[in-house]
Structures are given as structure tokens and as C-alpha cells.
Amino acid sequence: MIGAEMARVAQTGLVWNSIINNAFGQVAMRTREDVPFFGRFRHVSIAGLTVAEVASANEEAVRTHRHVARDGEDAFAFALLREGELELEQYGRSLLLRAGCFTLFDLGAPYRLAHRRHTNLVALKIPTGLLRTAMAAPEYRVLEAFPATGGIGRISSALLLALAAEGEAIPDQMASAYAERLTDMFCMLVRQWPGESRGLTVSQEQLYSRCCALIDSRLADADLDPAQVAAGVGISLRALHQLFQKAGRPVAQQIKLRRLERSRKMLLDPARKSETIKMIAMNCGFRSQQHFSTLFGQAYGCSPKEARQGGLRPTDS
């Protein structure tokens, strides 16, 4: 379904915090008390994608591990900054994004966003599952700046602005197919730049994607290890380790993190409310509930029980 929301205007940081929480996942919002606050938000939905126009001033938004564990947001966002400057931090990286540039960030992971002056941006929010069909490891391209002033960048910028203005005019019967093509097009924006954190060739990207898909399909198998992944895709164990080293994350770490991500989603899924924490741990390939709880706490800053109970206020850090 296509849906559009009229612009929502906030005069206080508290109201703005609620608007952003609903759109992008929970954050702790801070605003300067000595400067009047103003925020304007509007969005259009296209078959699971969201195009959001956001204008605000003098704010800082911090998304913590506890927020991530609490709300289950699972999407990435391509953000085009039209006015102002944004300070962004995620995955140990930092970026000062200037007007006329895109960047990509992970809404399902902790981040910090701050700006002192008025900013205006347009963001395309894409569910992680859909994005991974077009980009094997989007997390490795987070917080890179992609110019929107020429070539594919300028075309992507014009397309995003047109979607914000006219997206609700896309017929419902075309929305799903259109959303898939939009995802492919914005991934091309990233692929035209080699990237600083990784340099996989097209064939290596495809192989890496197959490895990640195999891992995801076998997370419940507690015996899954790098040797089984290598055998499953038909390459040597050494080649597998070299591939993941080039991608930036060891194979064993990828398996562990994907298990944790899946367990978090299961804990927050109302349809699984009857399943015990131990059952979820076993279904995600953890050998014991104690080991699972320890790793979950290290990753998200709260216990599985706390995550399931929702014992988190928006201002928690």
C-alpha cells in the first residue's frame, strides 16, 4: 500500500522525540535549552520503504544498545542532506556530512547524530532483508559520504526528492516491484564508489552473499562453523577466511552476530510470546541459556528477559 502523512510540526524536543521514535526507532533526544526548537516531519510509504523529509535544528539523537534491544527496528537509511551539517557516529566510525551528500546508516544498531544549526534531509528507509538482496554487506558501507552533485549521485538525489513529493501517486499494484527497483538503484549509488573499508570484486560480493545466506539458513545448528560454511559454498576454508577478512568481519563473528540478531527479533515477536528464553536460545544455535544470556548482555546492554519485558525508557542510555 502507498501511504502519505501530512507534515507534523514539533515545537518541543519531547514531541519531536516521539515523532522520531515512531519513524526510525527509539533514541534519546537532547536539545539546547537556550535555543528555540522546531522540527518538521513528513513521510511517504511505498511497499515497506519509507521516504521521510526531516527538518530540525539544534538536536542530538543517541541510539543505544538498549534501544536496539527494545524496539526491533531492522532497516537501513540512505540520507541526503540538503541543508546544514550532520555529525554522525556508528560502528566506531565518524562522519561530518555536508549538504549535497548522501550517506548510509544502520537504524538497527547504535548511533549518534548531532547538529547545532538548522538541517534539512530526505531519507529513504529500506528494510534490512530487502537491502541485503541488492547489497551483500551494507554495514560495511555505513557512514561513507557519496556526492549528490553529479552523475549517479545527482540522479539519485532528484529521484529521492521526486519520491518525497509524488510517491503516493505510485499505483498499489506496482508498489512492490517499484520498491525492489528503487533499492537496486540506490545500491548502485554505493557500488560506484570502491569504499574505504572493503574492496570486494563483483564475483567476491556474490560469493560473500552466498556465504551469508547459508549462515542465515543454518543458524539453529549449534555445530555450524566456518568449515561447514566453506563446504556449503564449495570453497576452501582458507579462501573463506580470506574472503571474510577482506569483507571486514571474521566468519565466526558473523555467525555469532547473526544468531544474536535473530534471537533479538524472536524475543520481541509477539507471536513467540509463549516460547521460553531457553527455547529461543536453542532455536538460534546457542548451546545453553546461560551462554546466550551472557553474549546477549554484552551485545545489547540488557538481559534477554529485560528486552522481552520492554523495561526501557526512551531516555535510557
Q: Which residues of the chain have pLDDT under 70?
A: 1-13, 33, 194-199, 310-317
pLDDT at residue 309, as a whole number: 82
Q: How far is CA 290 from the centre of its chain?
A: 28
pLDDT at residue 7, as a whole number: 57
pLDDT at residue 259, as a whole number: 94
Q: Which fold, 2-191? A: Jelly Rolls (2.60.120)
Q: Can you spell out the DSSP letters for 231-299?
A: HHHT--HHHHHHHHHHHTS-HHHHHHHHHHHHHHHHHH-GGGTTS-HHHHHHHTT-S-HHHHHHHHHHH
C-alpha cell at 137: 554487506
Angle, helix 237-247 to helix 226-233, in steps of 10 degrees: 100
Q: Provide the residue ranges of all domains of the chain, joining segments of one domain with +.
A: 2-191, 202-309
pLDDT at residue 302, as a whole number: 87
**In whole angstroms, what is the distance from residue 27 CA to residue 175 CA?**
30
Domain 202-309 has CATH 3.30.1490.480: no
pLDDT at residue 301, as a whole number: 85
- Taking residue 70's Cβ as centre, other Cβ atoms within 10 Å add up to 25
- Evaluate whether 27 touches 62 at the Cβ level (below 8 Å): yes
pLDDT at residue 1, as a whole number: 39
